[in-house]
Amino acid sequence: MDVTDNNPRRWNWTKAAVAACAFAIAPAVASNAEEVATVPSPTLNFYGVPGLVDLPSGEALPDGTLALSVSSFGGQTRTNATFQFSPRISGTFRYISIQDWNSDGFETYRDRSFDARFLLTREGRIRPAITVGLQDLAGTGIYASEYVVATKNFDRPLSLPGRIKVTAGLGWGRLGGLGDIGTPFGGTRPTFDAGDTGGSPSTDQWFRGPAAPFGGIEWQVNDAFGVKLEYSSDAYNPETSRGVFERDSRFNFGAEYQVSRFLRVGGYYLYGSEIGVNAQLVVNPTSPPRAFTLAGPRPVITRPDRAANPEAYSTAWAPAKGTVTEQLGTAIEPLLREDGIRLESLTLTSTARVEARIASLRYTNNAIAIGRTARLLTATMPATVDTFDIILMQDSLPVTRVTLRRSDLERLEFQPGASDLLLASSALDSAPPTTDADTFVPDGLYPRFSWAIGPFLRPSFFDVEEPVRLDAGIALSAAYRPAPGWLIAGELRHRLVGNVEDTATSDSALPPVRTSAPLFAQEGDTTIENLYVNRQWKTGKNTYARLTAGYLEQMFGGVSGEVLWQPTESRLALGVEANYARQRDFDQRLGFQDYDVFTGHVSAYYDFGGGYVGQVDVGRYLAGDYGATFSVDRTFKNGWSVGGFFTLTDVSSEEFGEGSFDKGIRVSIPLQWLTGQPSVQNASFPIRPIQRDGGARLSVPNRLYPQLRDADARALREDWGRVWE
Amino acid sequence: MNNARLAAALACAAVLAACSGGSDDLRTQGGRFLTVFDTLQSGLFAEEPELPTVTRALLDGLTVPSLEVTVPKRDGLAYLIPLISRRDATLGPLDTWTTGDGSQLTLRSGVIVATRGLGDDVTSTDRRGSIAFVTGQAGTNWPMRLDIQTSANGVERHDFTCTGQRKGRTTIEIVERSYPVESLSEICTGRDGTRIENQYFVDVRDGTVWQTRQWAGEKIGYMATRILKKK
């Protein structure tokens, strides 16, 4: 590969630079025209998974990819979200609507479905990529089918430009509907039942019944254009029998255009009768829309040579240590604040050692805060101070202590492998809970008051009539921190517009702890979203505690207590949480209703490495049911997190109602990923196919584990690559 | 749908009216909207100062040295001033230059040894061979290592093997002033087959590296440096 300049990209990297005498400098005009990806990931089909038009292919998306797509043909609209959870495993969540259904009590049929795909073999020089897939894997779903499919890429075939992908597969269920070759694994499968509550994996019907071959070709003419042709084995019986559309052919074809790095659109002709469209938004957390940029750090200041300047190393200041600490603390506190770091205390533990307790206000990556604090200490500490203990604080909780040698900072910055070298010569351990008496604490650290007025959105998903309902309005939130570990916080909301209140209410065999959401929406315009007192502290070297009382969430108030054991280097953390909760009045002001419950969980958190964290919570839920919640999240180093969860309790599927048990997915996107500018804020949202009363957990603000995880030693090591930044 | 539209319009109005106070970012929806809003506002609506026309008269009026840096792949152009210079061991001074907004470049004998604040930065390097080549002490080939920041908070190591070509004397002009220089070319091949070519123009009289073009990783591409005003 020759690397040349003939691929200009317009990123805004420079801003003004000011030399003396107003000799100022600016960037060339920057725009952010997106570059079309040179190696496109597999394109998606109408089900939102790698594939042709309506059929799947054998490829997997690049690891970590999140693909959102909307497709429509013949009155059938599918909204799909696929996440490539690991290099081989992907999951898809889908919401569909089929117009002109006119049966089973629905004019328009709406449903939700889950797919899972597993890449059996990666593509090799001769070997194709082979994937086995389970489509609509729970219940007798409308799209239920299983397949094994292979895809092979051919670059510049027959001297044509671009590349051709050839796909062939064998499908069961829906994909075994036409041209079957028999029933390889025997059995029969039940026909689709529109009234089934669904929700549970229907293992007994997977790969049963007739199997039929399918296949197709995709030609990616260049980076932007592609055409697709396929031969479908899908009979579309449920749809054609109800007159949704006419199916006249087994051939589908279409053309696609890559609009930008993220967006691809296509137009198609399907089943000899219908025009279709598909829009695919494919995002990979590992390639942000804007490179993360951060103004360069302060320089490391090296001390004068000791032999040549012995007087610089005088310890004559030692008797006045208290005053010196005060002066140094006062000097560095505003400089750290400029860098987005809050100094919580400074202590000269001896003439050779300093301890700085800091909190990162701007950088999700705490290694940046460590590095920048250390740089400032090289510029300000007396020359005899050779050891820096920098303690990462997370909302008053001291989490991890990083011990750095000043001489290493001076020596290593421009050495090859500088980050690894610094990590190797530094120590990371659990932070001691308290510090000694001779400590500088900045004025104004406590009490602190913060507030914000801004918009709020409260979505409600997958009502039978509307896929998304939304309330929106203005929120006033405030937080008051009177002393270390104490927080008094609340949020007042005023709804301006919304339709969540129109959500159909449903009967529940359980206390209506969550299905009463429409009643909360109906009665509350100006509401107290939450209002609570929180106290958290470090009880020992590896243990933390929290007490919270007040209006904890929209629907419940009460008291919550939690203890967490989390050694900073440990993969495993254990917690216990106990709560007394009482249902709030529907108007969400100060009153309570009669329903109350003791709820709580024992939780285990395990960091598997590579960003995968598993969590099991065993205990009692809001409706008084007992059970356990299992979840796995994958957190990328840039802060993206995608995960799934499900809860099994002693409530039967019948009592639970639609969906059989509680489950869902959750996504958290760091705002700095979107903007390229440092920020500790995240946008996170759980999505449940349906929220019922079984397996519902109290929503408590400030749970301990999520607060601590980013600041533990394991997270710091993973993020250490930015320590010099 | 009308409701949704109205909601969107009101949400927009609320963003425009949004405000906050205090030293802590609130982890509420309102707080997050404000973060995005502030970033967009500073990024999209910030006024970019005009580039001055650089003339020798303007440079003569400067009281500090100046380095011009261009990054063609990003359409970037900046003028840098010295931030700090330090010495260690024997390889000559490490000169860190900076823009007004904190983009930094650290050079050793004109050779790029680190960048900061550009995004996808060169975290650290082993460029002892390149420095020896530019200062006239090199052997026939030498290793080069670039440690490049990744978007996943990591550092990616790139190793190259380099050879040099001395292309003879020539004259270059930098803002109305001519310098007699030797043209040097450093050709490096990476383990993955990446082939890059760095160029240096070194004053034949005192060894000043006036002008260079050096590769700083796939994301940044080539950076061109010119000393407009020497120390």
List the single residue in A with minimal CA-CA distance to B68: A25
List the single residue in A with minimal CA-CA distance to B24: A450
> In chain B, which residues have their Cβ closer than 8 Å to the Cβ of A457?
7, 11, 29
Q: Which of A291, A414, A718 sits opposite B94 (nearest CB)?
A: A414
Q: Do A674 and B192 touch (CB under 8 A)?
A: no
- The tokens for A86 are 């690991």
Residue numbers of A between 527 and 556 with CB closer than 8 Å to B: none
A319-341 pLDDT, tens digit per residue, is: 998 899 999 999 999 999 999 99
List the single residue in A with minimal CA-CA distance to B16: A454
With a cut of 60, say whether residue A446 has pLDDT above it: yes
Q: Do A473 and B10 touch (CB under 8 A)?
A: yes
A253 class by beta-carbon count within 10 Å (0-12 exposed, 13-18 middle, 19+ buried): middle
State mean pLDDT over A386-404.
Answer: 95
Strand order in the sheet with B94-98: B111-116, B104-108, B94-98, B76-86, B66-71, B222-229, B209-215, B195-203, B178-190, B155-173, B141-149, B122-126
State percent of chain A over pLDDT 90: 66
Residue to substitute from B26, B159, B175, interface A, most A β-carbons within 10 A: B26
Q: Do B149 and A481 touch (CB under 8 A)?
A: no
pLDDT band at A293 (very low <50, low <70, confident <90, very high): confident
A558-594 pLDDT, tens digit per residue, is: 999 999 999 988 999 999 999 999 999 999 999 999 9
A206-265 pLDDT, tens digit per residue, is: 899 999 999 999 999 998 999 999 999 999 999 999 999 999 999 999 999 999 888 999
What confidence score (pLDDT) does residue B1 get? 41
Could you give phi then psi for residue A696, rounded to 5 degrees? -90, 130
How would DSSP label each residue in A617-630? EEEE-TTS-EEEEE
Q: Do A681 and B31 touch (CB under 8 A)?
A: yes
Residue to substitute from B29, B51, B64, B227, interface A, most A β-carbons within 10 A: B29
What confidence score (pLDDT) does residue B94 get? 93
pLDDT band at A486 (very low <50, low <70, confident <90, very high): very high
Q: Which of A14, A414, A674 sits opposite B103 (nearest CB)?
A: A14
> In chain B, which residues have their Cβ closer than 8 Å to the Cβ of A290?
119
What confidence score (pLDDT) does residue A615 get? 97
Residue numbers of A between 295 and 354 with CB closer than 8 Å to B: 295-297, 299, 301-302, 342
State mean pLDDT over A474-501.
Answer: 93
Q: Do A21 and B218 touch (CB under 8 A)?
A: no
Residue numbers of B between 103 and 132 with CB closer than 8 Å to A: 103-104, 106, 108, 113-114, 116-121, 123-126
The three-state DSSP-derived secondary structure of B94-121 is EEEEECCCCCEEEEECCEEEEEECCCCC
A666-717 pLDDT, tens digit per residue, is: 888 887 777 777 777 777 778 887 788 999 999 999 999 999 988 889 889 9
Tell whether omega for the bond before A297 is within 30 degrees of 0, i.e. cis.
no
Least confident of A11-20, A293-302, A440-449, A583-592: A11-20
What confidence score (pLDDT) does residue A660 get? 83
What confidence score (pLDDT) does residue A28 get? 26
Which comes out higher in pLDDT, residue A492 or A636? A492
pLDDT band at A271 (very low <50, low <70, confident <90, very high): very high
> In chain B, which residues have their Cβ closer than 8 Å to the Cβ of A5?
72-73, 221-222
Q: Do B155 and A420 touch (CB under 8 A)?
A: yes
- The answer to whether residue A465 neighbours chain B at the CB level (below 8 Å) is no
- The answer to whether residue A684 neighbours chain B at the CB level (below 8 Å) is no
What region does A470 belong to: left with phi over 0, alpha with psi -120 to 50, or beta? beta
Give Cα separations from A76 to A79, A98, A146 (angstroms). Answer: 10, 4, 21
> In chain B, which residues have their Cβ closer than 8 Å to the Cβ of A476?
30
State percent of chain A over pLDDT 70: 93
Spell out the residues 6+ positions from residue A555 whose beta carbon is closer than 8 angstroms to its own: A513, A514, A516, A517, A520, A583, A584
Residue to substitute from B104, B115, B124, B150, interface A, most A β-carbons within 10 A: B124
What confidence score (pLDDT) does residue A638 get? 73
Residue numbers of A between 644 and 673 with CB closer than 8 Å to B: 671
- The answer to whether residue B166 neighbours chain A at the CB level (below 8 Å) is no
Spell out the residues 6+ positions from residue A101 whose beta carbon is closer than 8 angstroms to its own: A107, A108, A109, A242, A244
Per-residue pLDDT of chain B in tens (231 residues, 90 and over written 9): 445 555 555 554 555 455 777 777 677 777 777 777 776 666 555 556 677 889 999 999 999 999 999 999 988 899 999 999 988 766 778 999 999 888 999 999 999 999 999 989 999 999 999 999 999 986 789 999 999 998 778 899 999 999 999 999 999 999 999 999 999 999 999 998 999 999 999 999 999 999 999 999 999 999 999 999 988
Q: How far A671 CA sits from the closest chain B CA (Å)?
A: 7
What confidence score (pLDDT) does residue B47 get? 58
Q: Do B64 and A19 touch (CB under 8 A)?
A: yes
Q: Do B33 and A448 touch (CB under 8 A)?
A: no
Q: How far A303 CA sits from the closest chain B CA (Å)?
A: 11
Residue numbers of B between 136 and 165 with CB closer than 8 Å to A: 145, 147, 149-155, 157
d(CA A289, CA A291): 7
Q: Do A12 and B43 touch (CB under 8 A)?
A: yes
> In chain A, which residues have their Cβ closer than 8 Å to the Cβ of B30?
452-456, 475-477, 491
Q: Which of A290, A302, A456 sits opposite B30 (nearest CB)?
A: A456
State mean pLDDT over A516-525.
Answer: 90
What confidence score (pLDDT) does residue B8 get? 54
Average pLDDT of chain A is: 88
Spell out the residues 6+ positions from residue A103 whose beta carbon is closer than 8 angstroms to its own: A194, A242
Q: Which of B14, B32, B88 sits opposite A671 (nearest CB)?
A: B32
Give Cα separations from A459 to A113, A222, A456, A563, A697 (angstroms). Answer: 20, 40, 10, 32, 19
Angle at A65 between CA A60 and CA A70, to 5 degrees: 90
Spell out the residues 6+ positions from residue B185 whose beta carbon is closer than 8 angstroms to its own: B164, B165, B167, B197, B198, B199, B200
Residue numbers of B between 11 and 70 with CB closer than 8 Å to A: 11, 14-15, 17-36, 39-40, 42-43, 48-52, 58, 61-64, 66
Q: Do A17 and B100 touch (CB under 8 A)?
A: yes
Measure CA B181 to chain center: 24
Q: Which of B52, B77, B157 sits opposite A28 (nearest CB)?
A: B77
A110-136 pLDDT, tens digit per residue, is: 888 899 999 999 999 899 999 999 999
pTM for the full predicted model? 0.85
pLDDT band at A444 (very low <50, low <70, confident <90, very high): confident
Q: Do B118 and A13 touch (CB under 8 A)?
A: yes
Q: Which of A294, A420, A481 sits opposite B117 (nearest CB)?
A: A294
Give Cα separations from A93 to A43, A47, A161 (angstroms). Answer: 17, 10, 35
Q: Do B28 and A477 touch (CB under 8 A)?
A: yes
Least confident of A427-431, A450-454, A612-616: A450-454
- The answer to whether residue B3 neighbours chain A at the CB level (below 8 Å) is yes
Nearest to A148 by CA among A184, A112, A114: A184
Residue numbers of A between 467 and 486 with CB closer than 8 Å to B: 470-479, 481
List the single residue in B with minimal CA-CA distance to A473: B11
> In chain B, which residues have their Cβ closer than 8 Å to the Cβ of A24?
49, 52, 100
A160-184 pLDDT, tens digit per residue, is: 888 999 999 999 999 999 999 999 9
Q: How far A86 CA sits from the closest chain B CA (Å)?
A: 16
Which long-range CB contacts under 8 A does A557-565 form with residues at least 24 apart?
A557/A581, A557/A582, A557/A584, A557/A592, A558/A582, A558/A596, A558/A698, A560/A698, A560/A700, A562/A700, A562/A703, A562/A704, A563/A539, A564/A704, A564/A705, A564/A708
> In chain A, which residues have their Cβ closer than 8 Å to the Cβ of B73?
5, 7-9, 11
